[in-house]
Amino acid sequence: MTVQTIRMIGDPVLRQVAQPVDPAEIATAEVQSLIDDLVETMRAANGAGLAAPQIGVSRRIVVMEVTDNPRYPYKPRIPLTVAVNPELLPLDGETVEINEGCLSVPLRGDVVRHVNLRVRYLDRHGVPHDEVVRGLTAGTWQHECDHLDGVLIVDRVADTRSLATWDEFSRHQRDAFVTRITEFVERAGS
């Protein structure tokens, strides 16, 4: 396991549509090593998730995990999840505005996300999963899977006036956002 360099906005790999992983490849040392590096890099950066393009590999793999992350005290827990070739299907038209950050973009901004999603993917052992996720967890899935399609949060921000660096967000917007999103999490249950 190696902590990799996280690619930043402007790197062309972040704008490519990532290639699917052949299910027969999942058990290979190459793919397992990539998964280990993604997990290690995400944890080292205190991220909630990371997609393979963010470490320069244009493959359809994302990892997610939320435990006691000081950057996201309002996020519900997500056990370590490895998703190979994930597919997302919104279940209805309900949305929520989330102020999101990204390890590849040194800004935060307000992004509208679906609240209820069906997610289908293969785990690191090639086992298929078909689950329903809600709330901020659904937002995390959408954010990470956007990376697989070359989409960054700056593409999703409807009002660019919401863009802020992490420091300025903490100084001017964080408290109001945490209050609003905590109320949403309590209502949504996730």
What distances in angstroms separate CA 41 from CA 27, 89, 162, 183, one per listed residue?
20, 28, 28, 31
**Residue 183 contacts residue 133 (beta carbons within 8 Å):** no
Structure tokens at 85: 């070739």
**Residue 53 contacts residue 147 (beta carbons within 8 Å):** yes
Nearest in space to 14 (alpha carbons), one of 111, 109, 153, 157: 153
- Residue 144 known to be catalytic: yes
Q: Phi first, then psi: what are they for 112, rounded to 5°? A: -90, 130
- Residues 74 and 2: their CA atoms lie apart, in Å, by 29
Q: Which residue out of 25, 40, 144, 168 is catalytically annotated?
A: 144
Sign of CA dihedral 60, 15, 72, 177: negative
Q: Phi first, then psi: what are they for 149, rounded to 5°? A: -110, 15
Known catalytic residues?
144
